[in-house]
Amino acid sequence: MKDKFWIIIISIVLVLVYAIDYKLDKANSKSEDTIKTIKNRGYIIVGVKTDTRPFGYLENGKNVGFDIDIAKYIAKDILHDSNKVKFVQVTPSNRLYLLNVEKVDLVIATMTITPERRNIIAFSKPYFVAGQAVLVPSGSSVKSLGDLDNKNVGVLYGSTAEKNIRIILPSVNVLGYKTYHDAYRALKAGKIAAITSDDTILRSYAMTDSSVKLLPKRYTKELYAIGLRKNEESKTLLKIVNINITNMVHDGTLTQLKRKWKLN
């Protein structure tokens, strides 16, 4: 009986020692710094849009746009070659996930800083300011969001506009789309009375298609920033990204890019 008691006590102690040892081991085994991973890999992986003129879209199968040029500037600094970037397509609904499951190192994709997103990822300093606007067919009598009462309005799933419109005008019938192409097709087909999203993105449709127009009112201030993982391993990368944004302001690159992509 006494032997049995001691066997149980010793077994418990051994299990505890093993558990503590395992926990300490895990705490000490730090993952590799993201910047080291990027340098060893030889290229940076950036999540970008492929349907969002003039920020991130495809031209002859190549990624181009304002956000793409920012990614190249950062690659030039980290890897001394602006072409050392692999672009991965993201949408407003999957970009945080793809970042956190380490499919991308950075997200540069017309992404607004919000408190909710800050709980999930880290943001760089802002590099651009947009505002929520409304795109309607040219012949539409709609003059502002208020006129869209009980009408179908298209938004991008997971976008700031999706959340905002539900607050600004709860009576609107919100229809979500995965891409801007899908929302635009629905507008042209008369399935929705308007699309609401960032002015800079919607303006490109109004500029190339006279059958749609952008209404003048802006409903929000959208500060675009670069998204990073919110962990210890990405802290150095965050510092480097912020230095790059400061440099882009001071060396005139941001102004030049705004001019290049007609964002002034």
Stretch of 56-64, 65-73, 156-164, 255-263 contacting ligand GLU, by CB under 6 A:
156-164
Q: How far is the CB of 109 from ligand GLU (least distance, A)?
A: 6
Q: How far is the CB of 19 from ligand GLU (least distance, A)?
A: 43
- Residue 38 or 70: the one with the smaller Cβ distance to ligand GLU is 70
Of 44, 48, 71, 111, which lies in the binding site for ligand GLU, with binding defined by CB under 6 A?
A: 111
Q: Does 198 bind ligand GLU (CB under 6 A)?
A: yes
Q: Which of residues 33-92 bind ligand GLU (CB under 6 A)?
A: 52, 92
Stretch of 27-35, 79-87, 110-118, 165-173 contacting ligand GLU, by CB under 6 A:
110-118
Q: How far is the CB of 156 from ligand GLU (least distance, A)?
A: 5
- Supply angle C-alpha 95, 99, 105, rounded to 5: 120
Q: How far is the CB of 160 from ligand GLU (least distance, A)?
A: 4
Of 35, 156, 193, 237, which lies in the binding site for ligand GLU, with binding defined by CB under 6 A?
A: 156
Q: Does 196 bind ligand GLU (CB under 6 A)?
A: no
Q: What is the number of other CB atoms lying within 10 angstroms of the CB of residue 70?
A: 27
- Residue 191 or 221: the one with the smaller Cβ distance to ligand GLU is 221
Stretch of 26-34, 78-86, 109-117, 228-236 contacting ligand GLU, by CB under 6 A:
109-117
| DSSP sequence for 2-63 | HHHHHHHHHHHHHHHHHHHHHHHHHHH-PPPPHHHHHHHHTSEEEEE-SEETTTEEEETTEE
Q: Is the CB of residue 90 less than 8 Å from the CB of residue 49?
A: yes
Under 8 Å CB-to-CB from 162, ≥6 apart: which residues?
A: 155, 156, 174, 176
Question: Computed over its alpha carbons, how large is the radius of gyration of the chain?
Answer: 24
- Residue 38 or 124: the one with the smaller Cβ distance to ligand GLU is 124
Count of positions on this chain that bind ligand GLU (CB under 6 A)? 13
What are the angstrom distances between the C-alpha of 88 and each of 102, 104, 254? 12, 7, 23
For 197-233, b/e burial (b = at least 16 CB within 10 A) is bbbbbbbbbbeeeeebbbbeeebbebbbbbbbbbeeb
Q: Does 204 bind ligand GLU (CB under 6 A)?
A: no
Cα(246)–Cα(254) distance, integer angstroms = 10
- Residue 119 or 141: the one with the smaller Cβ distance to ligand GLU is 119
Select from 127, 144, 143 the least CA-distant residue to 258: 127
For binding to ligand GLU (CB under 6 A), which residues are involved? 52, 92, 109-112, 156, 159-160, 197-198, 201, 222
